[in-house]
Structure 1
């Protein structure tokens, strides 16, 4: 591109110089020739006037007197009737410019000038015009090189940016070049890079969330299937199969919830549901794991609460809190339900050392963990809570108290429909 720009610019300049330079040379040559002719004619008129003046005054007319009085630098031939011709100066050789003038006394004055004078002046003019043309060509080349670099460098940079995007590096470069069209392309590439970065982040986040959220349901389902395969009692098989089907439904709900949050984490499907049912279901699912760890999982607080939210999402949040206490806490884990204002609250606490002081409010950030864990569980739990209009908070660090706040449905008389407050 740089070479084509230089070649095209140089071609334009050469055409302009050829058109206007040749025209200027022709005009300048004619001007110089006309000026030289007029000078010779004026000299002939001047000499004729001098000769007329001396003849009328009866003064002598000879070469010495005319040369001294006229001071002419040209060759002149004066022919006076009845007298011999008078010559002034040296007669030029080669081509000459001639001018004739007749005086009042019938004398004829002929002035000749060498044509080489015109040739010399034309040569000087051509030299000046050629110099200007060379300067113009050099300036055009420098300008073309500068413009070529100004355009080629940004295009090369934009090509590198596009190549980086194609190789999986979506970092925007935020470079601008002072050329509106190129800046527009840079804006589009930066916007594309940001969109690709968001998409990659969402995909990685979905993969991490799925790995974390599916691990516990799959483990529980595996345990149920192992119990089914290890027993010959039809009643036990039926009971365990029923529980396994319930876990499969929860697993399906987890997957759908993860996909929904990957598209738009603010999208919820809140309904009115029985809070006790979700709590008891989680207690039943986690008690075996706590028994294996030699710890207790208990429940207390207000019963018969209804809340607004997505049962599957609330179950996932509660499962994250219970699992967090199992992995990082100690002693008995207590799940308490209570009411505050128009909200139903589920609290999870344990007798462990609590949340380290250096974590504090960062406990809900991704990749933040007090031990060798993923640091995803609490972050996902908060996102799930907020998707349905609830919130997840840490009320106390030592001992740890985590609370899930949900909008509550007030209980009225049996003949009155429930209303949301």
Structure 2
């Protein structure tokens, strides 16, 4: 492209120089010839006037007396009546330019100039035109190279940016080139890069959230299946199978919620639900795991509370808190329900060492973990709570007290 830009620019300049140079040469040639002819006529008229004045004064007219008046680079021929012609200067040749004028006494003055004088002047003019043309071509070549670099370098850079986007590197470069059209392309590429970066971030976050949110129901389902395998009591098998089916439904609900949030996080299905049922469900699901670890899980507080939210999301938040208490806590885990103004609260606490002081509220940040874990659980749980219009807070460090705040269903809403 750079070569094409240079060639096209030089072609235009050469055409312009050829057209105007040829026109200028023709005009200047005619001007030089016309000026030479005018000068000859002026010299002839001057010499004729000198001859007439000498005749009137009775002075002799000879080559010696007229030599001072005759121009040195021209041939002068003075023809007087009844006298031989007087010749002054060297012969101008057969193709010389000449001017002839006749006076009132019959005398004739002829001035001749060699054609080479005009030819030399035309040659000098032609050399000047050629030199100026060469300088113009050189300047045009430099400007063409500079302009080609100015255009081709940004295009190469934009191509590299597009290649980086295609290879999975969506970082915007924020480079501008001083050319409006190219800057517009750069703006579009930067905007696309930012959009792709947001999409990739959302996809990675969705994948991380999905893996973490599905892990807890799968763990509970695995425990139920192990109970089924370990027992031969048909009634226990039916009971555990029913719980396992509930876990499958919960998995379906988690997947559906993930897909909904990935399309639009504002979409939700908040309804009034019985908070005791959600708490009891989690206690029933996690009691075998706590029993296997020699620990207990208990429930206390106000009964009969109804909250507004998404039951599946609330169950996922509670499952995350209970699982964290099982993995990182110690002793008995207690779930307590209470009322705080127009909100209902579920507190989860255990008898373990709690959350280190240096973490504090940062425990809800992604990738932040006090132990060897992903650091996603509490961050995802807080996102789920906020999506339902609630909030998840750390009320105490040691012993650890996590509290889930949800809107309380109005009494006039009835029970469903």
Output the TM-score relative to the length of structure 2.
Answer: 0.96
- Counterpart in the other structure of 1:84: 84
Find the aligned partners of 2:267 and 2:368 in 1 and give their Cα distance.
25
Inter-CA distance 260–152: structure 2 relative to 1 (3 Å threshold): same
Q: Which residue of 2 aligns with 1:185?
A: 185
Query: For 2:380 and 2:26, how far apart are their aligned partners in 1?
Result: 87
Counterpart check, 1:309 vs 2:326: no
Once the two structures are superposed, residues 147-180 of structure 1 have per-residue CA deviations (whole angstroms, 9 ceiling, x without a partner) of: 1111111111111111111111111111111112
- CA-to-partner distance for each residue in 1:245-304, whole Å, 9 max, x for gaps? 111111111111122222233322100111111011111111221222222212111111
CA contact (8 A) 2:278 2:314 kept: yes
Which residue does 1:232 correspond to in 2?
232
Matched with 1:287 is: 287
Decide whether aligned partners of structure 1 residues 398 and 81 sit closer, same or farther in structure 2, where only a CA change above 3 A counts. same
Moved more, 106-115 or 9-18: 9-18
Residue equivalent to 1:150: 150
Matches within 5 A, 1:333-372: 333-372=333-372
Q: How many angstroms apart in 1 are the aligned matches of 2:336 and 2:313?
A: 18
Equivalent residues in 2 for 1:122-271, closer than 5 Å: 122-271=122-271
Quote how far apart the aligned CAs of 1:396 are: 2.1
User: Could you tell me how far 1:69 is from its partner in structure 2?
Assistant: 4.0
Matches of 1:245 and 1:194, distance apart in 2: 43
CA contact (8 A) 2:223 2:289 kept: no
Q: 1:338 to 1:330 in 2, by over 3 A?
A: same
Unaligned residue ranges in structure 2 (runs of 5+): none
The alignment partner of 1:98 has SS state of: strand
Instruction: Tell me by how many angstroms 1:70 deviates.
Output: 4.8
What CA distance in whole angstroms lies between the structure 2 residues aligned with 1:323 and 1:234? 29
**Separation (CA, whole Å) in 2 of partners of 1:417 and 1:410:** 5
State the shift of 1:378 in Å. Answer: 0.6
Which whole-Å CA distance do the structure 1 matches of 2:138 and 2:47 have between them? 50
Q: CA deviation at 1:185?
A: 1.5
Q: Does 1:26 align with 2:26?
A: yes
Aligned-residue offset at 1:61: 1.4
RMSD: 1.6
Segment of structure 1 superposing worse, 37-46 or 266-275: 266-275
1:20-76 deviation line (CA, Å, top 9, x unaligned): 111111111111011001111110000000000010111121122212245554210
C-alpha spacing 1:402/1:230, structure 2 compared with 1 (3 Å): closer
- How many Å separate the matches in 1 of 2:246 and 2:381? 21
SS in 2 for 1:335: strand
CA deviation map 1:363-392 (0-9, x unaligned): 111111111100000110011011111111
Partners of 1:240 and 1:193 in 2: how far apart? Answer: 50
Q: 1:54 to 1:377 in 2, by over 3 A?
A: same
Using the TM superposition, give the Cα deviation of residue 100 of structure 1 relative to its aligned residue in structure 2, in angstroms: 0.2
Query: Bigger CA drift: 61-70 or 266-275?
Result: 61-70
Helix, strand or coil at the partner of 1:304: coil
Q: SS of the counterpart of 1:99?
A: strand
1:326: which partner in 2?
326
Number of residue pairs matched by the alignment: 415
Tell me, yes or no, if the aligned pair for 2:317 and 2:384 is still in contact at 8 Å.
yes
* Separation in structure 1 between the aligned mates of residue 87 and residue 223 of structure 2, nearest angstrom: 138
1:94 Cα offset (Å)? 4.9
